[in-house]
Amino acid sequence: MAAAREQTVWEYELLRVADVILFWFCAEAVQTIALYELGAHAACLTRLAVGADPDYPRHLDVVQQLRHARPDVSVHDCLQATVREAAHQA
């Protein structure tokens, strides 16, 4: 339990100071915490690079929510394109 608490604090602090945050949503898991973090950072106008495997269970949700909240953020369909976007913004 302590390790999980430390991990959460570490992630929270580093996400707050990052120049660009990359989110990748793989097909194998829903990743509810990552969805929460994406929403929080999308609302703060953080520089984002976002990608979702076409088979990701919530793919449509990620695309549609960002289309409304952050029309400037594209959702890439492959990890390589998502990484290139993050590097371009850095």
Task: Answer whether residue 11 shows pLDDT above 90.
Answer: no
The pLDDT score that the predictor gives to residue 42 is 96
Q: Where are the alpha helices (DSSP H) in 1-78?
A: 2-17, 32-43, 59-69
Partner residues linked to 29 by β-bridges: none
**Count of CB atoms situated within 10 Å of the CB of 35:** 16
Task: Answer whether residue 10 shows pLDDT above 90.
Answer: no
Collapsed DSSP state (helix, strand, coil) of residue 57: coil
The pLDDT score that the predictor gives to residue 12 is 84
Phi, psi (rounded to 5 degrees) for 30: -75, -35
pTM: 0.90
Q: Which of 13-22, 70-79, 81-90 has the lowest mean pLDDT?
A: 13-22
